[in-house]
């Protein structure tokens, strides 16, 4: 595991954007695993800037997002589909047919999950997976005590996660209680993983991911077993690291 500590959120975002840009530039048919949330917002912005500066081509890129709320339609402003369109996809030349985000409105959620993993496999697997981390050390929406073997599946969100994500909704009661998430196994099969974290509220989770016992109680701890993980964290999020 490689750990990069940056002085600021901006520097963290730029470092991650450069890695993503390099991946896309030198393998224009890359398969990207993408995250939503506050953490990668500036990374997406920087990547759009790099795209404009050096003309990287997203037209053959295939993307798979980590997760989506169950019960939110694509045009719902709180859906992750909407988030990705607004913050990234509409600013680049990605082919809309190459964008994959679990369908939270699918009638058969079990089939939706199985199909999602099959599509990732058919695309040749994920080349570069971008991750954020929850305060409870979740990755994707794999909450504590999830099975490490899980592939894409429906999850019940923890109360902590619902509370943390309530900031994006008018009221906490509007936060969906369920989501579809790539499983830990799906994430672990990615060829390269870049995890981003900033802020002191992520320090404990980062510590558990890097130095803690490998346990489903801290889902991100499984990343210690991945052969190519880079953690890019700002000083505040790195505060508990030895
Ligand atoms: C988002 C995701 C989540 C977030 C995590 C951190 O697609 O899978 O694991 O990365 O909840 O969220 P933020 O960045 O908002 O602190």
ipTM more than 0.85?
yes
Residue whose CB lies within 8 A of the most ligand 1 atoms, among 39, 130, 137, 202, for a mutation test: 39
**Taking CB atoms and a 6 Å cutoff, what residues make up the pocket around ligand 1?**
35-39, 66-67, 132-134, 138-141
Atom 4, ligand 1: which residue's CA is nearest? 132
What tokens appear for 133 in the block? 């981390």
Give the whole-angstrom CA distance, residue 81 versus residue 146.
24
- In contact, 157 and 177? CB cutoff 8 Å: yes
Distance of CA 185 to the CA centre of its chain: 14
Instruction: Look over the chain and give the mean of its residue pLDDT values, rounded to a whole number.
Output: 97
Atom 10, ligand 1: which residue's CA is nearest? 132
- For position 217, what pLDDT does the model report? 98
* Residue spans per domain, the chain: 14-208
Residue 99 DSSP label = E
- For position 82, what pLDDT does the model report? 97
Atom 2, ligand 1: which residue's CA is nearest? 140
- For position 55, what pLDDT does the model report? 83
Regarding beta strands 128-131 and 192-197, do their DSSP bridges make them parallel or antiparallel, or are they unpaired?
A: parallel
Count CB atoms within 10 A of the CB of residue 227: 9
- In the chain, which residues have pLDDT < 70? none
- In contact, 117 and 55? CB cutoff 8 Å: no
CATH number 3.40.50.1360 is the correct assignment for the domain at 14-208: yes
Give the whole-angstrom CA distance, residue 104 versus residue 180.
7
DSSP H or E stretch at residue 232? strand 229-234
Give the whole-angstrom CA distance, residue 76 versus residue 143.
24
What tokens appear for 156 in the block? 């019940």
Could you identify the atom of ligand 1 that is nearest to the CA of residue 67?
A: 7
From ligand 1's centre to the CA of 108, what distance in Å? 25
Q: What is the distance between the terminal CA atoms of the chain, rounded to a whole angstrom?
A: 14
Give the whole-angstrom CA distance, residue 159 versus residue 108.
25
- For position 10, what pLDDT does the model report? 98
pTM of the model: 0.97
Residue 169 DSSP label = S
From ligand 1's centre to the CA of 150, what distance in Å? 18
DSSP H or E stretch at residue 187? helix 184-188
Give the whole-angstrom CA distance, residue 201 versus residue 79.
24
Residues 6+ apart with CB under 8 A from 171: none
């Amino acid at each position: 595991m490689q750990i990069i500590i940056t002085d600021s959120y901006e520097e963290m975002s730029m470092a991650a954007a450069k890695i993503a840009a390099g991946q896309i530039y030198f393998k224009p048919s890359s398969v990207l695993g993408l995250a939503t949330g506050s953490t990668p917002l500036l990374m997406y912005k920087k990547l759009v800037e790099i795209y404009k500066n050096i003309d990287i081509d997203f037209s053959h890129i295939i993307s798979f997002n980590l997760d989506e709320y169950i019960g939110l339609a694509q045009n719902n402003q709180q859906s992750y589909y909407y988030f990705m369109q607004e913050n990234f996809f509409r600013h680049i030349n990605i082919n809309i047919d190459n964008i994959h985000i679990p369908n939270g409105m699918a009638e058969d959620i079990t089939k939706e999950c199985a199909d999602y993993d099959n599509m990732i496999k058919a695309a040749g697997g994920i080349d570069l997976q971008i991750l954020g981390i929850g305060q409870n050390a979740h990755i994707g929406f794999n909450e504590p005590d999830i099975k490490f073997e899980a592939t894409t599946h429906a999850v019940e969100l923890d109360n902590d996660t619902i509370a943390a994500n309530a900031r994006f909704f008018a009221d906490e009661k509007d936060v969906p209680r369920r989501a579809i998430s790539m499983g830990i196994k799906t994430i672990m099969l990615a060829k390269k993983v870049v995890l981003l974290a900033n802020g002191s509220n992520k320090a404990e989770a980062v510590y558990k991911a890097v130095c803690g016992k490998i346990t489903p109680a801290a889902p991100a701890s499984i990343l210690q077993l991945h052969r190519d993980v880079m953690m890019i964290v700002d000083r505040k999020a790195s505060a508990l690291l030895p």
